């Protein structure tokens, strides 16, 4: 057993090792998992029980005959072992005398690109594997592009399976040349090509005698010495406030992790969103107050003044503030099966802040093979695009290239709660900071008072042919007869004018509803009761329209008619055409209708006259005090 003195020295050495997080990526079957298995095995980091399990597994699942299949060390999921592929990212830990490593082994299949991005987002270096027999493939390019997008600056180009091409230098050189040609625009600070055989260990831990022509370092030597450190500590101070610490009336602190820069007691700071300033009074930790805290530290700051600070605010130096805006342009990697719908409301989370957001304009998507910009109206799973994002309120942020913590965001679907996109902010849009709301003297309440009614939107939703327009028409007639001020926005009529440029794709339907929602809002502002008669098949868009208005102003009326009945009525002959395949994206036939879950009123039409339905609605409006 080691003497205690040696142990102390050993532990001190452990503590002071430098640290590198990297990922392995590249196309499927290029040997990523095998390489990591080899690194763990050769650096003697495997326990005996792990080894014996590996030997057992190799016999059962192994793809390498009698030999140990190192990939089985990291492919930990049952489905992965059965299929011999990597589905999700695995994190493994190992250390050398100099460094500790966390390596993310990421999947090569295009289908699982989002898992590769997960691994890349926290890495400082990428080992891109290439099969020497196949050369640079689409996935090699895709992964390199995503690494670049996520801000990775250091690349190792590991040309693997070099044994299978007879350790041929010409093949190696050609692949390196190919790779450099496309990678030169990806902004990598270092690119180190190494010929390896992960299976046999050539140039992995030490230089291989089988490739005397190769003069560079073995992979592990390079990982041990590469300087992949960022200069985060030298950048301006940023701390997104995670949690307001208030144990009693005498203490109010702001807890968070410092994203960049450093802070000392006495430093002047500004709450980026509100512009209020104060100075740092104390840096509080469980282990006592600190004289200084810097990037990466999780601390609690007390300020000298009682100013309003809450979760999601960003503390920064007054002289080097982050941008504050409700619009910015960003790169986005789409990670959901459901396509991006510009205009749809998602939740955006950046740092500790979550706000409703929409992609207002998609400028282009990127062809990962040629890096060409292609026109796009939407993004599908694993596609990368660039566009404008608009928020319901301004937030503080930095460009992603300056700060991953304050410039990287995710988009969340409001219904499924799935993480649908990763975004990298490029820059804030000036327009947002310069267009201010015009304050008007005659306001909504005044106009409504003159009309003796509460302005509201009656939002009729339902299938085509359900009776929405007929009923809305009768309701308007009844209200008009009582002297109310009303207006009808009808789906078909609006599509002849305001929305003439829109078709019936999902993306266009979202924009259709957005415009109608905004128009209805203006009419409500004018004091009117607005009757909107739109199929509006998606919950998200109905919710978006609802959220444009004040509470109580939006009355969703679900005109509930079974599709069989709508098809029987078929007033415009549309179902017949849709069933015959002559109309694409027809709601109920080839495009979904999502049933309302929060409708204020459900009006069943079957076996009733439209007049009967209209009378029921007017009665409801009186009960709600919309009309006297």
Among 166, 213, 251, 482, binds another protein (CB under 8 A): 251
CA atoms within a 13 Å half-sphere pointing along the CA-CB vector of 432: 20
Please report whether residue 286 would count as binding another protein according to CB under 8 A.
yes
Window of 280-288, 512-520, 576-584, 596-604 that interacts with another protein by CB under 8 A: 280-288
Interface residue with another protein among 39, 74, 157, 457 (CB under 8 A) is 74
Contact pick of 29, 30, 69, 88 for another protein (by CB under 8 A): 88
The residue from 10, 372, 480, 608 that contacts another protein (CB under 8 A) is 10
CA 407 from chain centre, in angstroms, equals 12
Tokens of 259: 């994203």
Identify which of residues 1 and 440 has a Cβ nearer to another protein in the complex.
1
Residues in the chain: 628
Taking residues 89 to 128 in sequence order and writing x for each that binds another protein by CB under 8 A, - otherwise, the string is: xxxxx------x-x-----------xx-xx--xx-x----
Listed ranges 156-164, 183-191, 241-249, 574-582: which one lies at the site for another protein (CB under 8 A): 241-249
Most distant CA pair in the chain: distance in Å?
98
Stretch that binds another protein, among 126-134, 346-354, 426-434, 542-550 (CB under 8 A): 346-354
CA atoms of 188 and 180, how far apart (whole Å): 10
Active-site entry in 27, 208, 466, 536 = 536
Among 9, 55, 67, 79, binds another protein (CB under 8 A): 79
**Which residues, in sequence order, are bridge partners of residue 559?**
603
Among 59, 177, 185, 243, binds another protein (CB under 8 A): 243
DSSP 110: G
Computed on alpha carbons and rounded to an integer, the radius of gyration of the chain in Å comes to 30
Size of residue set near another protein by CB under 8 A: 84
Distance of CA 60 to the CA centre of its chain: 39
Q: Tell how many helices (H) and how many strands (E) occur in the chain.
A: 19, 27
- Residue 10 region, left (φ>0) first, then alpha (ψ -120 to 50), else beta? alpha
> Which tokens sit at 3?
């003497």
Owner of token pair 């009967």: 612
Would you call 197 a catalytic residue per the annotation? no
Q: Is 256 in the site for another protein (CB under 8 A)?
A: yes
Q: Which stretch binds another protein (CB under 8 A): 181-189, 251-259, 509-517, 601-609?
A: 251-259
- In the complex, minimum distance from the CB of residue 575 to another protein, in angstroms, rounded to a whole number: 34
Instruction: Write down the least CB distance from residue 9 to another protein, Å.
Output: 12
Q: Name the residue nearer to another protein (CB basis): 220 or 421.
A: 421
CB 395 within 8 A of CB 355: yes
433 touches another protein (CB under 8 A): no
| Shortest reach from residue 232's CB to another protein, in Å | 6
Q: Which residue stretch of 26-34, 210-218, 418-426, 434-442 sits at the interface with another protein (rule: CB under 8 A)?
A: 418-426
Of residues 211-240, those binding another protein (CB under 8 A): 229-230, 232-233
**What's the angle, vertex CA 136, arms to CA 114 and CA 185, rounded to 5?**
75
**3-state SS of the chain: helix, strand, coil percent to 5?**
30, 30, 40
Residue 207 interacts with another protein (CB under 8 A): yes or no: no
The least distance separating another protein from the CB of residue 366, rounded to whole angstroms, comes to: 18
Q: Which segment (16-24, 187-195, 265-273, 558-566) binds another protein by CB under 8 A?
A: 16-24
Q: Does 17 bind another protein (CB under 8 A)?
A: yes
CB atoms within 10 A of CB 207: 17
CA distances from 135 to 79, 131, 140, 161, 195 (A): 28, 6, 9, 11, 12
Does residue 48 belong to the site contacting another protein (CB under 8 A)? yes
Q: Which positions from 302 through 341 interact with another protein, judged by CB under 8 A?
A: 311, 335
Task: Tell me how far, at minimum, the Cβ of 383 lies from another protein, in Å.
Answer: 14
Sequential DSSP letters for 225-294: H------GGGSPPBEE--EEEEEETTEEEEEEE--BSEE-TT-EEEETTT--EEEEEEEE-TT---S-EE
Q: At what angle do helices 169-183 and 138-149 cross, to 10 degrees?
A: 50
Report CA-CA distances (Å) from 467 to 155, 226, 296, 611, 616.
Answer: 62, 69, 60, 11, 14
* CB-based contact 150:334 (threshold 8 Å): no
For residue 149, the minimal CB distance to another protein (Å) is 12
Q: Which is nearer to another protein, 77 or 522 (CB)?
A: 77
Please identify which residue in 167, 254, 409, 459 interacts with another protein, judged by CB under 8 A.
409
Nearer to another protein, 213 or 415 (CB): 415
Query: What does the per-residue mask of binding to another protein show for 365-404, with x meaning CB under 8 A?
Result: ---------------------------------------x
Residues 126 to 185 in contact with another protein, rule: CB under 8 A: 151
> Are 147 and 118 contacting, i.e. CB atoms less than 8 angstroms apart?
no
- Residues paired with 421 in a beta bridge: 334, 411
Catalytic center residues: 536
């Amino acid at each position: 057993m080691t003497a205690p003195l040696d142990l102390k020295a050993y532990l001190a050495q452990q503590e002071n090792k430098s640290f590198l997080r990297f990922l392995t990526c590249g196309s499927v079957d290029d040997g990523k998992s095998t390489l990591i298995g080899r690194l763990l095995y050769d650096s003697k980091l495997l326990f005996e029980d792990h080894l014996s399990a590996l030997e057992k597994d190799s016999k059962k699942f192994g793809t390498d005959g009698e030999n140990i299949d190192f990939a089985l060390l990291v492919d930990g999921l049952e489905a992965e072992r059965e299929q011999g592929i990597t589905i999700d990212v695995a994190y493994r830990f190992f250390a050398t005398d100099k460094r500790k490593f966390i390596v993310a082994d990421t999947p090569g299949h295009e289908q699982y690109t989002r898992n590769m991005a997960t691994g890349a987002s926290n890495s400082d270096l990428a080992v891109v594997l290439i099969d020497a027999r196949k050369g640079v493939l689409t996935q090699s390019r895709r992964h390199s592009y995503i690494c670049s997008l996520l801000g990775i600056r250091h690349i190792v180009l590991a040309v693997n399976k070099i044994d299978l091409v007879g350790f041929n230098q010409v093949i190696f050189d050609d692949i390196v040349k190919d790779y450099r040609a496309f990678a030169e625009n990806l902004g990598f600070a270092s690119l180190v090509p190494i010929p390896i055989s992960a299976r046999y260990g050539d140039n992995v831990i030490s230089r291989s005698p089988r490739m005397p022509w190769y003069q560079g370092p073995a992979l592990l030597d390079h990982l041990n010495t590469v300087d992949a450190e960022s200069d985060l500590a030298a950048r301006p101070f940023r701390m997104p406030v995670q949690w307001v610490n208030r144990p009693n009336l005498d203490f109010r602190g702001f807890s968070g992790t410092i994203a960049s820069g450093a802070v000392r007691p006495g430093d002047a700071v500004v709450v980026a969103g509100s512009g209020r300033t104060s100075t740092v009074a104390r840096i509080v930790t469980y282990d006592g107050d600190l004289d200084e805290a810097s990037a990466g530290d999780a601390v609690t700051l007390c300020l000298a003044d009682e100013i309003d600070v809450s979760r999601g605010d960003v503390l920064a130096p007054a002289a080097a503030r982050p941008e504050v805006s409700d619009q910015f342009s960003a790169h986005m990697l789409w990670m959901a099966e459901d396509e991006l719908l510009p205009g749809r409301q998602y939740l955006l989370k950046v740092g500790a802040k979550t706000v409703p957001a929409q992609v207002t304009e998609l400028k282009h998507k990127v062809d990962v093979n040629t890096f060409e910009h292609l026109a796009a109206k939407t993004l599908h799973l694993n596609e990368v695009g660039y566009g404008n994002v608009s928020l319901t309120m301004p937030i503080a942020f930095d460009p992603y290239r300056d700060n991953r913590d304050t410039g990287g965001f995710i988009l969340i679907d409001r219904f499924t709660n799935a993480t649908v996109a990763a975004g990298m902010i490029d820059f804030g849009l000036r327009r947002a900071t310069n267009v201010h709301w015009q304050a008007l003297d005659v306001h909504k309440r005044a106009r409504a008072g003159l009309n003796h009614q509460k302005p509201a939107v009656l939002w009729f939703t339902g299938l085509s042919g359900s009776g929405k327009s007929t009923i809305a028409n009768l309701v308007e007639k009844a209200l008009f007869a009582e002297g109310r001020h009303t207006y009808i926005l009808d789906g078909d009529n609006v599509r002849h004018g305001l929305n003439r440029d829109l078709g019936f794709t999902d993306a266009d339907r979202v924009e259709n509803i957005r415009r109608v929602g905004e128009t209805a809002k203006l009419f409500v502002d004018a004091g009117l009761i607005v009757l909107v008669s739109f199929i509006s098949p998606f919950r998200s868009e109905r919710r978006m329209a609802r959220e444009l208005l004040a509470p109580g102003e939006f009355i969703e009326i679900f005109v509930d008619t079974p599709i069989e009945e709508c098809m029987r009525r078929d007033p415009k002959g549309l179902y017949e055409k849709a069933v015959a395949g002559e109309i694409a994206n027809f709601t109920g036939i080839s495009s979904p209708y999502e049933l309302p879950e929060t409708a204020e009123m459900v009006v069943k039409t079957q076996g009733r006259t439209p007049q009967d339905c209209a009378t029921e609605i007017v009665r409801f409006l009186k009960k709600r005090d919309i009309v006297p």
